[in-house]
Chain A
Amino acid sequence: MEILRFIVTRAALGVLTLLAVSILLYLGTQLLPGDVASALLGQSATPEALAVLRAKLGLNTPAYLRYLHWLWGVVHGNLGSSLTTGTPIAGVLLPRLANTLFLAGYAAIIAVPLAVGLGILAAIREGGILDRLSSTLSLATISFPEFFVSYILIVVFASQLGWLPSLATVYGGMGFWNRIDATTLPAMTLTLVVVAHMLRMTRTSTLAVMSSPYVETAFLKGLSRTRVVLNHALPNALGPIIAVVALNLAYLVVGVVVVEVVFVYPGVGQLMVDAVSKRDLPTVQACGLVFAVAFIGLNTLADILAALANPRLRGSRGR
């Protein structure tokens, strides 16, 4: 029952955080000097134009009522209308969300097994070639901006070799394999961006368990290093590793913004950047909320999975 209580508490905390963030996303604009309408229209706005925009944004009602009204709409799938096009945001956002999830999922399917596998190998042969290579690689990927990795891949695989398209053009009704072909380069970029960090953290979690007395006992029994790592250390390192994976998937959600812009991929990130440059506030808020749900959701999931995989939390369950 202990574990169930933990899950409920942690999930409730996640929802609470999400609420706090949504208040900040929606009402954070209140803290800024002036009101949203005058900020959007600039210094030279006529009083009439200001009044129209204020009415359109509903700025004449109190802030907390506006927030509750917005939240009520969001819960019922109504994200409001775009300021620039006047169309409902949900209709534009949902297909793009599907695209973003497809890209992030594609990257995750490559990155997670690769990083966890190599991380464990690096831990088995601590100080070996793979281990040292991975530490150099992680310095590089921490220091390289996403667009640098993207352009290197584009120059190599699209311009020079001509194997893959340099723009990730996707459209409705596109075949699955065509879609895979179009999104391979952005997915590779995202993989490279997260893989090294995930690998290092997997290695560290495994090595942390390796220093405990029971692992030393396993060594003293005469077992091979491979066997000790896989059968003795790994089961206990699994909790932290799962947390690491979920945490990095959350990072992927943000990394996707820049990568989508590089490859002109029609996802939520690109929509948000477009909306920011057009100063289309309701669309930006909707996109921000989508990212918040994904980010906080994955972080909450990371905590819960880590607890599920940890025998110490399972131990107090009645046998």
Chain B
Amino acid sequence: MKIAGHRVPVTVYIGGFIVLVTLIVILFAPWVAPYPQTKIVGGVWDLPDAHDWLGTDSIGRDMLSRLIYGGRTSVTIALVATFFTMLIGVGLGFLAASTNKLVDSILSRIVDVLLAMPILIFALMVFAVLGTSIPIMIATISTLESTRVFRLARAVAMNITVLDYVQVARLRGEGVGWVIFREILPNALPPLIAEFGLRFCFTFLFIASLSFLGLGIQPPAADWGSMVHDNAQAISFGGFAPLFPAAAIALVTIGVNLIVDWLLSIHALPAGAGAEV
């Protein structure tokens, strides 16, 4: 099969399958989950059996049901954070590329400083002052991570702004808004979609790590990262409980990564766009 003239390798089908199944399961959680998420169905950290397929958690709730409901929180929050990351990053990146040199220099210098440090360290700093809550976490992550998107968006837009039709639009007297939305955006979409996938993977893992550290999503809301945190002690008693949510995180990330890898291979990113950590 081909999509838009590109051959689709088998890895993309695997990735797509993982993503689709995850979405369906968490969307229809109440119908799919064998038990309500708060119901206590067994002892503490029961091993998997025919009754509870993945065993029970730290207070005897069914692990599989908790996983299905927890996925809702994990995926939704990561999606929202990624959305804002892209919004801020792409917006400022395009602004830097399409307005004057001064705006560009100021934005670029600020981003350089933020890029010089791992996101985790800055994020911990903010949490120490403001405490941890879901809105603060989303705001912090999307602000910090948008600096990574900024570089890509700026680089892509820079390549487009020098093209004739953008110059023509400018000479016609169109404003910055027109240039950004009508001229640059449509042509910058393909690499930005791949970037969205990449950012989602990063955000998803990052939020999971924060929750694991006990600084992300706070109870009673449960996500996969905090489930690992809550069940970590099971390992000392010969159980596997924290492995299930951790594996769920890994599986979803692999699924999205398989698709993103393919997208990246079709639309090679401009040099210097992939700044990680």
Note whether A and B form a binding pair. Answer: yes
Decide if A21 touches B117 in the complex (CB within 8 Å): yes
- Find out whether the CB atom of A275 lies under 8 angstroms from the CB atom of B116: no
- In the complex, how many angstroms separate the beta carbon of A111 from the nearest chain B beta carbon? 16
B128 within 8 A of A: yes
Q: A29-B129, A140-B254 are in contact. Are A145 and B205 (CB under 8 A)?
A: yes
Cα separation A295 to B131 with both chains bound (whole Å): 25
Using CB atoms, name the residue of chain A closest to B228.
A147
Name, among A25, A155, A276, A284, the residue most crowded by chain B CB atoms within 10 Å (CB to CB): A276
Which residues, 114 to 141 on B, are CB-close (under 8 Å) to A?
114, 116-118, 120-122, 124-131
Q: Are B201 and A143 in contact (CB under 8 A)?
A: yes
Min CB gap B93→A, angstroms = 21
How many residue pairs link A and B with beta carbons under 8 A? The number is 135
Q: Is there an interface contact between B243 and A275, defined as CB atoms closer than 8 Å?
A: no
Give B221 Cβ to nearest chain A Cβ, in Å.
Answer: 17
The answer, yes or no, to whether B214 is at the interface (CB within 8 Å) is yes
Chain A residues whose CB sits within 8 angstroms of the CB of B131 once the complex forms = 39, 42, 279
On chain A, the residues within 8 Å of B246 by CB distance are 145, 147-148, 151
Q: How far is the CA of A145 from the CA of B242 in the complex (A)?
A: 12
A257 touches B117 (CB 8 A): no
Does B45 interact with chain A (Cβ within 8 Å)? no
B237 (CB) vs chain A CBs: closest residue: A159
**Does A181 sit at the interface, judged by CB under 8 A?**
no
A277→B215 contact, CB < 8 A: yes
* Residue B50 interfacial (CB < 8 Å): no
Stretch at the interface among A44-52, A209-217, A285-293, A306-314: A285-293
Q: How many residues of A are counted as interface, with CB atoms below 8 angstroms from the partner's CB atoms?
A: 52
- Interface size range of chain B in the complex: 35 or more
CB distance from A281 to the nearest CB of B (A): 6
Question: Contact string, B122-164, partner A, CB cutoff 8 A, digits 1/0?
Answer: 1011111111000000000000000000000000000000000
B238 touches A159 (CB 8 A): yes
Query: Of A40, A148, A151, A258, which is within 8 A of B235 by CB?
Result: A151
Given contacts A143-B254, A275-B128, A292-B117, whether A152 and B238 have CB atoms under 8 Å apart is no
User: Within 8 Å CB of A295, what residues of B?
Assistant: 116-118, 121
Which of A39, A148, A291 gathers most chain B CB within 10 Å? A148
Q: Mark out the residues of chain B between 74 and 110 whose CB falls within 8 Å of any chain A CB in the assembled complex.
A: none
A251 at the interface (CB under 8 A from B): yes
Identify the A interface with B (CB < 8 A).
17, 20-21, 24-25, 28-29, 32, 36, 39-40, 42, 139-140, 142-148, 151-152, 154-155, 158-159, 166, 250-251, 253-254, 257-258, 261-262, 272-273, 275-277, 279-281, 284-285, 288, 291-292, 295-296, 299
A-B contact pairs, 12 of them (CB 8 A): A21-B117, A24-B113, A28-B125, A32-B126, A142-B257, A143-B253, A151-B235, A158-B235, A250-B277, A276-B128, A296-B116, A296-B117
What residues make up the interface of B, taking CB atoms closer than 8 Å to A?
Answer: 112-114, 116-118, 120-122, 124-131, 201, 205, 208-209, 212-215, 225, 228, 232, 235-236, 238, 240, 242-243, 246-247, 249-250, 253-254, 257-258, 261, 277
